Amino acid sequence: MDLLALDYVIFGVLLVSAALSLMRGFVKEVLSITGWIVSSYAALFLGPLVKPFLAPYINIEWVVNAGALLLVFLVVLILFSFLSNFISSKLRDGGIGMLDRTLGVAFGGLRGAFIVCLAYFVVVLVLPEKDHPDWIRDAKMRPLLQTGIRVMVTLVPMDRLPLNITNIEGTLRNMPEQSLEQLAPALLPELTPDAADDAPDPVENEAQDTQADTGYKQNDRDLMERLIRNTEGVR
């Protein structure tokens, strides 16, 4: 099966994220993503405290919820950005150079994976998986996105989300447990040898094992016979 549009989008996001991290460096990228994480958790835990101040001016509940989350997120993110710029400027004066950029590429790849998994997380929140279009449902990277959702659910306090998480719960129930070894043939079939072709025939394996066992026992018998003959010769 050929790559679909979603696969190309995911690869593009990963490449762009890695390229940006190469230019910005590891230290600045780590501080930047840390700011996003801190801001997200602050929004989830402090957003409910801000809602009473917005409710008198907005009559739509979901707008109040979203507005409170967004307001806290932006305020914390801006404050953290000033702090991260100060720290990164001090560290760059130490001259970490190429190592900083090399580690930045690796970090950028991880950040890109987080972004695409987060996007898929939002899609599943809005639309159940059974209603997804074919270019999402049949994408080769989809199992990787599902695995990402499983990891994210363990890190995000779902009870704090002002959203219906029924779709996510259904996704987790229907999601098979898959390891990277199981995902590799689906993601990179042209680079992964066909296990069915390379796997030895069970009948041949059994015959070889039987032959090996028989040979081993025969060797033991020959050795015992030689020892007996040598013993008799000594006598």
Out of 40-44, 185-189, 217-221, give the one with best mean pLDDT.
40-44
Greatest mean pLDDT among 65-79, 112-126, 150-164: 65-79
19: phi then psi, degrees, rounded to nearest 5: -65, -40
Among the residue ranges 114-128, 156-170, 201-215, 217-231, the one predicted with the least confidence is: 201-215
- Other C-beta atoms lying within 10 Å of the C-beta of residue 131: 10
| pLDDT of the residue at 165 | 56
Q: What pLDDT, on a 0 to 100 scale, did the predictor assign at position 175?
A: 55
pLDDT score of 103 = 84
User: Can you tell me the mean pLDDT for 86-96?
Assistant: 71
Does the structure show a pLDDT above 80 at 31? Answer: yes
Q: Indicate the pLDDT class of residue 79, thresholds 50, 70 and 90.
A: very high
Tokens in use for 78? 């801006």
Q: Measure the CA angle with vertex 36, ends 34 and 39; round to 5°.
A: 105
Identify which of 151, 199, 200, 155 has the alpha carbon closest to the alpha carbon of residue 171: 151
- Model pTM score: 0.50
Task: Kindly list the domain boundaries of the chain, sorted by start residue.
Answer: 5-195, 200-235
The pLDDT, as a whole number, for residue 224 is: 61
